[in-house]
Structure 1
């Protein structure tokens, strides 16, 4: 029998969400899945009240509040545990700024069934469009000197080596095969590292053309001299991104072809963040400190100040 939305538990991980937009994110998701749970990662109160007092939750949506900020890796593992507790076949991971277009989950389920008929499935993921630029992100196959960026054909899907976590529909059986998410990475590259293990375990990852999701990349969009744009992150986020990617370079399970193209890519990013994105000196220091700590194997949440 075809997979049903009733077999999907979606878990939206929240931390200080944009209250003006989060209600629509939840409403879109709730109407496409059997169960929606919001996992709040210890969002601080504003004016003495939690955001959930101001954002209406759709009927049937459950809110679970954590007492500490678990990070994404631990939150995703908690999401999988919630899905198992509810007897689901799939967990759908959602970030707080990911807006599913109508029919997104139904399309993911169709392609999950088709892929599972061909072999073990790790995950299927939607095509995501940046909410500010309108840019449609490609799916990725690792290569050297550059990754191969591919768009799934209309009505079809495409093999990928990596799927972003938000919007990913994952059979719970895949988490048994590939293992849980790495909680030590805390936030950045959690999805990348899991995809490495899923592919190594022989699981398929597929990007779906007709499943679409609006998603915000980075904290800011900067226009470059001579045309073009660049997604910019805060210095703290740059620290975490650099730390975790350098840490992955040293892990034996990381595909060598990915490391070979990622080292020069990170050096290029360091140059761009220093040259074009304010605060330039703080950005450079954050990335260099992240590289140092990643090389040393530092894990867990970010330092209090960077």
Structure 2
């Protein structure tokens, strides 16, 4: 029997979302799934009110407010539990700024069913397009000296070694096989680490060409000399990204080919962030501190602002 939208519970994880954009994100998702739950990671109140008191929530969408910011890994594990409680077969993970094209989930389900005829599926993900640059992101196959970037053919799909969490349709059986998400990573590389385990468990990661999602990469877009562009993150995010990538280099379950290409990639990123992205000094300190903490195996939330 073909999988249908009623088999899917979508969970959108929020933290201080863009209140003007969020209703569109939720409406697009709610129209394509059996149930949509918003899992709020203890967003700070503004003017004494939570964002959910001001934002129009589509009918039938439930907002669950957590008592603390537990990070993405813990939120994704909670999302899987919510999907199970509602009797779903799939959980669809969403960020607060990810807008699904019409028919996106139906396409993900169809490609899941086609691939499931040939072996267990870990996740099926859409093609995502950066909404500021219009740049379409390819799917990734790990390689050395560079990862391979693969575009799925129109109407088709492609094997991938990594899918971003937002927009990923995950059978709950895949979480049983690969395990839950790593809560210690807190924010960045949570999806990367889970994909390592999913592939090691023999699960397919599938990128779908015609399933599209608009998604914002980074905090801003910077134009470089020569016309190239660079996605820029805050010093705090740079700290977390660097810390968690370095931590993954040291883990026995991390593919060696990924580590071999990621070490020079991170060095290159440090150089670019300190040369072209303000605040240069804070960026450099954040990444170097992140590398040291990652090597030491630090886990959990980022350090307090005064310690960065």
What TM-score comes out, normalization by structure 1 length? 1.00
> Which whole-Å CA distance do the structure 2 matches of 1:69 and 1:230 have between them?
29
Listed one character per residue, the Cα deviations across residues 229-270 of structure 1 (whole Å, up to 9, x for unaligned) are 000000000000000000000000000000000000000000
Residue of structure 1 equivalent to 2:5: 5
Q: Moved runs in structure 1, 4+ residues, more than 6 A?
A: none
> Which whole-Å CA distance do the structure 2 matches of 1:167 and 1:218 have between them?
17
Shift of 1:57: 0.6
Give the secondary-structure state (helix, strand or coil) at the position aligned to 1:20. Answer: coil
Residue of structure 2 equivalent to 1:29: 29
Give the secondary-structure state (helix, strand or coil) at the position aligned to 1:262. Answer: helix
Note if 1:263 corresponds to 2:254: no
Shift of 1:215: 0.1
Residue of structure 1 equivalent to 2:123: 123
> Which whole-Å CA distance do the structure 1 matches of 2:226 and 2:121 have between them?
43
> Which whole-Å CA distance do the structure 2 matches of 1:8 and 1:209 have between them?
20
> Which whole-Å CA distance do the structure 2 matches of 1:26 and 1:213 have between them?
13
RMSD, aligned α-carbons:
0.4
Shift of 1:304: 1.1
Listed one character per residue, the Cα deviations across residues 64-103 of structure 1 (whole Å, up to 9, x for unaligned) are 0000001000000000000000000000000000000000
Residue of structure 1 equivalent to 2:188: 188
Residue of structure 1 equivalent to 2:74: 74
> Which whole-Å CA distance do the structure 2 matches of 1:183 and 1:10 have between them?
20
Residue of structure 2 equivalent to 1:42: 42
For structure 2, the residue ranges without an aligned partner over 5 or more in a row are none
> Which whole-Å CA distance do the structure 1 matches of 2:275 and 2:44 have between them?
34
TM alignment of 1:35-184, pairs within 5 A: 35-184=35-184
> Which whole-Å CA distance do the structure 2 matches of 1:272 and 1:70 have between them?
31
> Which whole-Å CA distance do the structure 1 matches of 2:29 and 2:227 have between them?
36
> Which whole-Å CA distance do the structure 2 matches of 1:268 and 1:78 have between them?
35
Residue of structure 1 equivalent to 2:219: 219
> Which whole-Å CA distance do the structure 2 matches of 1:155 and 1:33 have between them?
21
Shift of 1:53: 1.0
> Which whole-Å CA distance do the structure 2 matches of 1:126 and 1:282 have between them?
34
For structure 1, the residue ranges without an aligned partner over 5 or more in a row are none
> Which whole-Å CA distance do the structure 1 matches of 2:103 and 2:210 have between them?
8
Residue of structure 1 equivalent to 2:274: 274
